[in-house]
Structure 1
Amino acid sequence: MANLTFKDFKSDQEVRWCPGCGDHAVLAALQRALPKVSQALNYEKERYVVVSGIGCSSRLPYYMDTYGFHSIHGRATAISTGIKVANPTLTVWQACGDGDALAIGGNHFIHAIRRNIDINVILFNNQIYGLTKGQYSPTSKFGAITKTSPYGTVEHPFNPGSLVLGAKGTFFARSLDSELKLNEEIMTQAALHDGCSVMEMLTNCVIFNDGTHKAISDPAVRADRTIVLRHGEKMIYGKNRDRGLVFDGRSIRAVTIGQDGITEDDIAVHDAHSDNIGFHMALADMKDDLPVALGVIRDVKDITYDDGVRDQVKDVMRSSRIHCMDDLLRSGSTWEVK
């Protein structure tokens, strides 16, 4: 196998996103992650295909030197499903936006997760429709003033993590566009996961929704308002690494190490492989005085749809009396004309 590098996955196309757009960083992370995936799985570059729908993030296939498919609005998941079922040897990466995937494409999105189709979904979440010039999306904050909500939205937004886990997702991760190394790590783990992997990337739209994630992405507050989760490690965070999470079996709360008798031994260990989906849902939905969880929140094994289809076809072929067109033509009532 060739020793693939970042440059091998970079196409010759000019990247036409706005300067400062968070999509640039996510693209770079993917291009840096795939050589590591290739080395880990012994994959040639021809096994990769990148699929997208419609939106700013959906330009990503043009910038990847792989097979690609730029589909239509909201239907990237349907195309990804067809590709993976038709050719299970391919590793399918899907780029989609919060409007593209969760509004018009919401039906396909949740059922791909429910079926556990072995595709890798990168969900770019800038909480706005960018390509169509600033309408509110399913993840826009309650009360957001946009082109289509000039007096503020009057509906509650989706939490993509809760949506994925509510559909019994087997892999969910979240990160910020600026966390390049963490994003490489997440994408590599997603590729190694056998099943539907959803990676929510919190991206910034400098034109229509600038600073939408500032409350957690600002370097001055990021360490105190986010926590990077890694399987098997204590859930500790904070600028001084003196904050942590404890889990009582039902809910999560933040504590300060060294106060009220709390020691590092009291801090919970993150278990991304746990069967306790309630624990993962609590992590994905942390708010108020709790930090926003970044990193791989859930990574569990289950049967995949594409494996199920493959095995079913093999079983039918073994038991069928029809193995070729001639068998089919002679399978019913036949007669000979002389």
Structure 2
Amino acid sequence: MNDMTPITTKPKDWETDQEVRWCPGCGDYAILKAVQRTMPELGARPENTVFVSGIGCSSRFPYYMETYGFHTIHGRAPAIATGVKLANPELDVWIITGDGDALSIGGNHTMHLLRRNLNCQVLLFNNEIYGLTKGQYSPTSRVGTRTPSTPLGSVDRPANPCAFALGSGARFVARGIDVHKNLVPVLKAAYAHQGAAFVEIFQNCIVYNDDVFAPFTEKAQAQGNQLWVEHGKPLLFAGGQKGLALDPERLTLKVVDVVDGDASGVVVHDQTNRGLAHMLVEMPFGPFPMALGVLYDDPAPTFDEAVVLQNAQASEGKRPDLQKLLSQGQTWMVDKAPHVI
């Protein structure tokens, strides 16, 4: 995040003249609008902002943001974004990716970006399917998912994006839902974090994987199955009638009933507690609610700061001398042109 004086913008200032081309009803539309609404509230500057994407439906995103942008190649957005940030550390860098782009061919790049802790925001649109290439199963598709590439049902155990991020050393991990009003506060928190901020966004693919998240996103199911965490507040859901407590024997979380508003036995969310974050992201949905919001936020020194400092220290007291650089080592001089027969 830069230190320049914020300017006043409106959501419209972040929209391009490009026709937004996703399938009608796609969750990407809602995420795009949420980001465009968020940017003015951050005081961000369009000319100081870069969106970098890989390949997939989500990766069309840079075309629709009135900022600098790179639509790169499959899985390599983290590598390009790292180069952008190191070349100009003052830029606000956002990475837009999908579950297939970031966790299959791009898994290695995503891991290294998170462990290095580059100061940027990573928005992973998770629809549990390969939408752009017509509905094949992805690394996050559930066991039994029938697709053109798994006609008998997938037998793969799916990847858990937030567990992957924590295991890679991420210092900020959050979850949101494409159409939920709380997505904007999550994006704000990611931007405020100094370091790699990883946000998984559950995004509905209306064509190839419609309503896969309905059990916790449908209005009728939301209250009982969504747990929006807040630092310093008890882990309550179902209108405050249920909560999460620690099972002292197994050292795991368990669902408990909250009677007469007494939440004394319910765990209080501490977003700096990495162990608690692991438990929240790995809770099996069904017996447990879906944990949403800022699950982990514990800043650490960033990769780009370390590189800038190292370069400054290495060049301190030295004067650039290109001729000296070219002449060092083994050199020779050609006095005259060779004789040609």
Alignment match, 2:258: 257
Are the counterparts in 2 of residues 125 and 203 from structure 1 also a CA contact under 8 Å?
Answer: yes
Paired residue type of 1:116: N
Paired residue type of 1:190: A
Alignment match, 1:246: 245
Aligned mates of 1:337, 1:18 — CA distance in 2: 65
- Tell me which of 24, 29, 46 is aligned to 1:19: 24
Aligned mates of 1:215, 1:337 — CA distance in 2: 77
Paired residue type of 2:138: S
Moved more, 201-210 or 279-288: 279-288
Structure 2, unpaired ranges of 5+: 1-5, 336-341
Paired residue type of 1:266: G
Aligned mates of 2:234, 2:86 — CA distance in 1: 39
1:232 Cα deviation from its structure 2 partner: 1.5
Aligned mates of 1:299, 1:129 — CA distance in 2: 30
Task: Report the number of matched residues.
Answer: 327
1:14 Cα deviation from its structure 2 partner: 1.3
Aligned mates of 1:337, 1:104 — CA distance in 2: 49
Alignment match, 2:293: 295
- Tell me which of 38, 45, 66 is aligned to 1:33: 38
SS of structure 2 residue aligned to 1:92: strand
Alignment match, 1:203: 203
Alignment match, 1:313: 311
Alignment match, 2:193: 193
Alignment match, 1:281: 278
1:235 Cα deviation from its structure 2 partner: 1.1
1:327 Cα deviation from its structure 2 partner: 3.9
1:248 Cα deviation from its structure 2 partner: 4.8
1:258 Cα deviation from its structure 2 partner: 1.1
Alignment match, 1:324: 321
Aligned mates of 1:99, 1:298 — CA distance in 2: 23
SS of structure 2 residue aligned to 1:54: coil
Superimposed CA distance per residue, residues 3-56 of structure 1 (whole angstroms, 9 cap, x where no aligned partner): 111111111111111111111111111111111112xxxx43211001111111
Aligned mates of 2:198, 2:172 — CA distance in 1: 6
Aligned mates of 1:164, 1:2 — CA distance in 2: 33
Aligned mates of 2:66, 2:327 — CA distance in 1: 48
SS of structure 2 residue aligned to 1:23: helix
Aligned mates of 1:326, 1:150 — CA distance in 2: 64
1:247 Cα deviation from its structure 2 partner: 2.7
1:137 Cα deviation from its structure 2 partner: 0.1
Query: Which entry has the higher C-alpha Rg, 1 or 2?
Result: 2
Are the counterparts in 2 of residues 322 and 331 from structure 1 also a CA contact under 8 Å?
Answer: no
Paired residue type of 2:316: R
Matched, 1:183 2:218: no
Matches within 5 A, 1:87-102: 87-102=88-103
Alignment match, 1:237: 237
TM-score (norm 1): 0.92
Alignment match, 1:73: 74
Aligned mates of 2:79, 2:331 — CA distance in 1: 40
Superimposed CA distance per residue, residues 285-337 of structure 1 (whole angstroms, 9 cap, x where no aligned partner): 11141111010100111111111111110111116x55221443565688999
SS of structure 1 residue aligned to 2:316: helix
Matches within 5 A, 1:29-178: 29-38=34-43, 43-178=44-179
Are the counterparts in 1 of residues 270 and 276 from structure 2 also a CA contact under 8 Å?
Answer: no
Are the counterparts in 1 of residues 129 and 208 from structure 2 also a CA contact under 8 Å?
Answer: yes
1:234 Cα deviation from its structure 2 partner: 1.6
RMSD over equivalenced CA pairs, Å: 1.9
Paired residue type of 1:237: F
Are the counterparts in 2 of residues 190 and 197 from structure 1 also a CA contact under 8 Å?
Answer: yes
Paired residue type of 2:41: K
Aligned mates of 1:109, 1:332 — CA distance in 2: 38
Superimposed CA distance per residue, residues 162-218 of structure 1 (whole angstroms, 9 cap, x where no aligned partner): 100011110111111111x21111111101111111110001111111111111111
SS of structure 1 residue aligned to 2:158: coil
* Percent of pairs with identical residues: 43
Paired residue type of 1:290: F
